[in-house]
Chain A
Amino acid sequence: DAGVTQSPTHLIKTRGQHVTLRCSPISGHKSVSWYQQVLGQGPQFIFQYYEKEERGRGNFPDRFSARQFPNYSSELNVNALLLGDSALYLCASSFGDGYGYTFGSGTRLTVV
């Protein structure tokens, strides 16, 4: 059974560009969350979706947006990239209702 899959694994973008990161949850998981992890820090909550509806949004600017599709996969979009957006972006899925999250391997984004 496949785990949480994220694509791409690595990405280099220039300041001001746009990026789309993708996540496929574990089969049967309806909840998908996105986190940003800067080196040496804990994952910071960005968004949570359940059954295609946004359930939570962290303290991130409007340049960050996300959506969840009918098959429960998800996309995270970041516009007008800044150097400070360089980080590991983690996607996690769960059954919902306080069940444990399973994380994907992440997408390492470098903004130059």
Chain B
Amino acid sequence: GENVEQHPSTLSVQEGDSAVIKCTYSDSASNYFPWYKQELGKRPQLIIDIRSNVGEKKDQRIAVTLNKTAKHFSLHITETQPEDSAVYFCAANPNRDDKIIFGKGTRLHILP
């Protein structure tokens, strides 16, 4: 079935260090992998996405890598800052559909 697994569920990193969140997906037909950031009480916001025809994409301090063979993708945040504290969700589109299925989320704490 359609499934996106995400880990860890909680991650604490020192300010300035890097954070890595990993996800796996079950449907090999998936070809679109977005990442969303959700701050407390707010809507999820798209921060970066990657398609299956590329292996890595970077946007300033945020990067996403994709391993199609292993069916996993990761979010990398470098030089973390207090405003990076939030819940991060990975997602994938099963069956190359327009719909996307979310992981359970990772709560990221940036420690001062």
**Chain A contacts to B: CB under 8 angstroms:** 31, 33, 35, 41-45, 48, 50, 55-56, 90, 94, 96-98, 100-106
Contacts and interface: CB of A to CB of B under 8 A. Distances in A.
Interface string B19-52: 0000000000001101010000011111001010
B9 to A, nearest CB: 10
Contact of B44 (A43, A55, A94): A43
Given A43-B44, A90-B43, A101 B102 contact: no
Interface string B51-82: 10000000000000000000000000000000
B99 A56 contact: yes
Contacts, number: 57
Given A41-B104, A98-B31, A103 B98 contact: no
8 contacts: A41-B104, A42-B102, A43-B102, A45-B100, A48-B99, A96-B98, A98-B96, A105-B43
Among A41, A42, A105, chain B packs the most CB atoms within 10 A around the CB of A42
Contacts of B51: 98
B95 to A, nearest CB: 9
Interface of A is mostly: strand
Taking residues whose C-beta sits less than 8 angstroms from the other chain, chain B's interface range is 20 to 34
A31 B104 contact: no
Interface of B: 6, 31-32, 34, 36, 42-46, 49, 51, 89, 93, 96-105
Among A43, A44, A96, A106, chain B packs the most CB atoms within 10 A around the CB of A43
Contact of A55 (B6, B36, B45, B99): B99
Given A41-B104, A42-B89, A98-B31, A104 B43 contact: yes
B75 to A, nearest CB: 14
Nearest to A106: B43
